[in-house]
Structures are given as structure tokens and as C-alpha cells.
Structure 1
């Protein structure tokens, strides 16, 4: 009798737990801020030549082994603002910013909200240089890069097409001029 009560309690308590993610064996967090905690834990590990992608909802999950995904249950711009702010404040990396070239050619009647999105994104980037790249070229770049370097993808709820932003991380305390001088000194 005591054994059957114990088994019943075990079954009842197991039924109250959320299902585990089969890939990671982790219980998914319902807290919408969980992505921020995950990003906070990842940023110190990322460095020169890593990538952070803040992507729209239709961005595909890829099979490349170097790609890791975080789901942010938010619109793209607030996620971008937090990520870009933290990268800019870090001491070890700085962003090289890319966005889809196609975004420049989308009209408001094709995608409601695109005009305001572009305006808000430009304000957010401020004086930082932003390079445009064709969307298909991004996939080619990521395919090559993810074979050797980690690519962190933060997927958002954004449904305006071609709004994804791609941050290639560069060293925050060393630059090309210093590297060239170092290589010149090494040849002496």
C-alpha cells in the first residue's frame, strides 16, 4: 500500500512539470527575460571573429555545428538595442554591423511598419558604420564562418522581412594598424 502511494505521488508530481527539450534535456524557461540571461552568459565567451545575429522570425535554423540559437520572445529592435548596447560597452569586442541590402528596397505598402523600422534602426545605430549585404551572401558567409567560429543567433518575433542585423565581432582593444605594426616588428 505504501509503495503504491509513493508511485502515485511520483506520477502526479511528474505530470506537473513542463516537458523537457529533447535536444538539450533542459526544461524550457517561460520567463521572457531568459534570453537576456543566456546572452549575458555567452557574451564574455565570444571574441574576435565570432558573430551575433539578431534575426526576424522567418530566419531558418541551420544545421551548421558552430551555430547556437536563443529565442527572444520580443520584437527585433528592443533585442538589438540591448545586444548592441552590451557589445558596445564590452571591453573585449566591438561590432562590425551588417544588415540586409534588400531592406532598402521594400516599400511600406509591401510590409507595414518597414519605414518606421528603418528610421528607428538608423537612430539606434547612431554614427556607427552599417554595411549592407545581400541576404543570400549572409548565408554563404555564415556557412564558412560557422565551421571554425561560433555564431550566436538570437531569433525574435519580428515579421517585417529583411530586418535581421548581423554583428561580426572584432577585437575591442586591438586594431588593424596595431596588428600591421606588430607584424612589421616581427620581421626585423
Structure 2
């Protein structure tokens, strides 16, 4: 009996120290947010964040970082834009696919995006044009892909990061001043 007592104490001790497990959805949401939160301070202007629909392809380019969010696209876009808005170094330039306006049954999704994008200028371009724009800089700069579980065609949101504290107008002024000297 004494020899089983030590085993019983060890088993009870092992299970009493076990952390309570969280539901899978809560763990994955926290995980993707933590991953994004750790990447945002490292990203700068010319980096991209793509909040992608479920069918977005896994690409072999070395500059692509994929995070599987297991969340809805509007939820991920909302969180990402709020984080970018609270930061001090980059601001988002937002692109959506022009084709989305013609997808039947996507009205609620489009309305949801409009409310999330309130206060931001959003450019709508043909799908191939957005990829061409992104591809120009993607070979040199990181692209973070936040893959979602949304299954609406042409629903991805493309975010080109720009410098928050230095505008294009300031850059033009600087270049004009440099030419004058």
C-alpha cells in the first residue's frame, strides 16, 4: 500500500498544478493578436499587411509571414486598424478589390467594412492591380498575411503601411529645400 501512496501523491500533484485549459477559439484569437502585436513595432513604411480570405494562397516568397487567425475578416481588420491607429510610427493606406462591389450576397460584409473604415480613405482597385502594387515592394519588404476564415470572394483587405510622422508633403518640402542649397 505504501508503494502506491507515493504514486498517488505524484499523480495528484501533477494534475493539481495543471493550468486550466481555455477554449480553442479563445486561444487562437489571443495567439494571432499576440503575434501581430509583436510584429507591428518591427514593421515600417512600405511593409504590407494583408487580411486575407480563407482561399488566399500560401506563397513561397521568403518575405511572406503567415498568421492563421481562425477569426472573421472583419474582426481581424478591425483589430489591426485599431492597433495601427494607436501606434506612433505607421499609418494604413487601405485597398480593397473593386470586384467586391459586384459579389452577390456580400452586402452585409461591405457595410461592415465601411463602418470599420470610417475616417479612412479606402482605394478600390481591380484585384490584379492591388497585387501588382504590392508585388513591387514585396520582394524587398515583409508582407504579413493574416489569414481568416471568411469565405467571400474578393474580400481581402490590403494595407500598405506609410510613415505616420513624415508625410509626402513634408518630403517634397525637404527635397525642394535640398535643391535650393
Q: TM-score range by the shorter chain?
A: 0.7 to 0.9
Q: Pick from 60, 69, 77: which aligns with 2:74?
A: 77
Could you tell me how far apart the structure 1 residues matched to 2:147 and 2:91 are?
21
Q: What is the TM-score normalised by the length of structure 2?
A: 0.82
What residue ranges of structure 1 are gaps of 5+ in the alignment? 1-29, 109-113
Alignment of 1:125-144 (within 5 A): 125-144=117-136
Cα deviation for residue 102 of structure 1 reads: 0.3
Q: Is the 8 A contact 2:95 2:130 kept in 1?
A: no
Cα deviation for residue 107 of structure 1 reads: 1.6
Alignment of 1:100-119 (within 5 A): 100-108=97-105, 114-119=106-111
149-158 vs 57-66, which moves further: 57-66
Q: Does 1:181 align with 2:178?
A: no
Q: Pick from 137, 148, 157: which aligns with 2:149?
A: 157
Could you tell me how far apart the structure 2 residues matched to 1:130 and 1:143 are?
19
Q: What is the TM-score normalised by the length of structure 1?
A: 0.79
SS in 2 for 1:126: coil
Alignment of 1:88-107 (within 5 A): 88-107=85-104
Could you tell me how far apart the structure 1 residues matched to 2:120 and 2:135 are?
26
Could you tell me how far apart the structure 2 residues matched to 1:101 and 1:95 are?
18
Could you tell me how far apart the structure 2 residues matched to 1:120 and 1:170 are?
24
Q: Is the 8 A contact 2:93 2:161 kept in 1?
A: yes
Q: Pick from 143, 148, 154: which aligns with 2:140?
A: 148
1:99-128 Cα deviation digits (max 9, x unpaired):
0110011122xxxxx111111110110121
Cα deviation for residue 139 of structure 1 reads: 2.6
Aligned length: 154
Cα deviation for residue 34 of structure 1 reads: 0.6
Who wins on radius of gyration, i.e. which is larger?
A: 2
CA RMSD in angstroms comes to 1.2
41-50 vs 130-139, which moves further: 130-139
Cα deviation for residue 144 of structure 1 reads: 2.4
